[in-house]
Amino acid sequence: MNSKILITGATGTTSQLAIKSLLNRGLKVRAMVRLFDQRSEQLEELGAEVVKGDFLDLKSLRTTLEGIERVYFCNPFKDGLTKAAGYFAKAAKESGVKLTVSMSQMNVHEGSTSPATQNHLIAEDILDWANIGSVHIRPGLFAWNYLNMAGITVKAEGKFYFPNPDAKYTIIHPQDISDVVAELLISENYKSHIGKKYYLTGPRIFTAQEVVNELGDLLNRKIEYIEIPIEHWVEAMKRDPYVNDFLAKHLREFSKDIANGFFNKSTDVVETLTGHKPREFKTYLKENIDAFK
């Protein structure tokens, strides 16, 4: 490939990993950021062309998309996704984008009462209607969420507080998500992926107690699982400055989707698209073990 690949949300976890993967293959990458800061400087040092852009600023999107045919569309987790998708779709259509890999959610369904999930449902349609080569990835539970969901209380009390003790769900390593993104973006047979919705899963299904067992084995200490009501869990999560009211509302409804089995999936998508098996949840915990010690 001679043309540059655009990665949006470039300072986010999956975007950063995708950028590194593409640059390591000798590909040209343009990284869209909202702010120039230390994180954007690090991307420049890696070899990416860093540009400032905003999904809600059509002019900046048009400039960012100049000369771009393949894009990773990853909007920050906040309200406004449908408007962002509409603006992006317009600019991408005008620029001749041929492939758009978009970050969505595994639990996308019309019956959801989560504003974030509703936004993803409509955003997928907007990108499809624009005819800009959209393919949607729908990952399971993000492994990195456990740094906040479990790290503080496991470290301080040896306990993991979480609702839905009987719920079953898949947990995926962020590197596997970014590997899929990279493979889709460089695919010579990219047209075969357009219109697909890929469910990305880890290698096994977990319950809350099994998450605790993984942590206990790694830490070589007893970790106790404590079932708590959804509302108590959401209130506890709101102590994290990252969790705004929009995200808190999502977590409440997202927890119900977990209980209703929307994340109880196992697919071979990661292996089929990347050529390697998905990484174990334990691998991610080992890589970040200091968050739990």
Domains and CATH numbers, the chain: 5-138+174-200+266-273 (3.40.50.720)
Q: Rounded mean pLDDT of the chain?
A: 95
pLDDT beyond 90 at 3: no
As given in the structure block, the two tokens for residue 14 are 């999956």
> What percent of the chain stands above pLDDT 90?
88
- Give residue 249's pLDDT: 87
What's the helix, strand, coil split of the chain in %, to 5? 45, 15, 35
Q: Residue 91 is inside which H or E element, if any? A: helix 81-95
% of the chain exceeding 70 in pLDDT: 99
pLDDT at position 246: 85
pLDDT, tens only, 245-273: 888 888 889 899 999 999 999 999 999 99
pLDDT in tens, 81-131: 999 999 999 999 999 999 999 999 999 999 888 889 999 999 999 999 999
Residue 264 burial (CB count, 10 A): 16
The pLDDT assigned to 138 comes to 98
pLDDT digits (tens, 9 = 90+) for 165-201: 999 999 999 999 999 999 999 999 999 999 999 999 9
| Position 2 confidence tier, pLDDT thresholds 50, 70, 90 | low
Q: How confident is the model at residue 14 (pLDDT cuts 50, 70, 90)?
A: very high
- pTM value is 0.95
pLDDT digits (tens, 9 = 90+) for 236-252: 888 878 788 888 888 88
Under the banding of pLDDT at 50, 70 and 90, the label for residue 41 is: very high
- Please state, in angstroms and rounded to a whole number, the distance separating the CA atoms of residues 77 and 22: 24
Rounded CA-CA distance 217/232 in Å is: 27
pLDDT score of 1 more than 70: no
pLDDT of residue 113: 87
Average pLDDT, integer, range 74-79:
88
Q: How far, in Å, CA of 163 to CA of 245, rounded? A: 19
Angle subtended at Cα 118 by Cα 89 and Cα 120, rounded to the nearest 5 degrees:
40
Instruction: Please name the amino acid found at residue 131.
Output: N
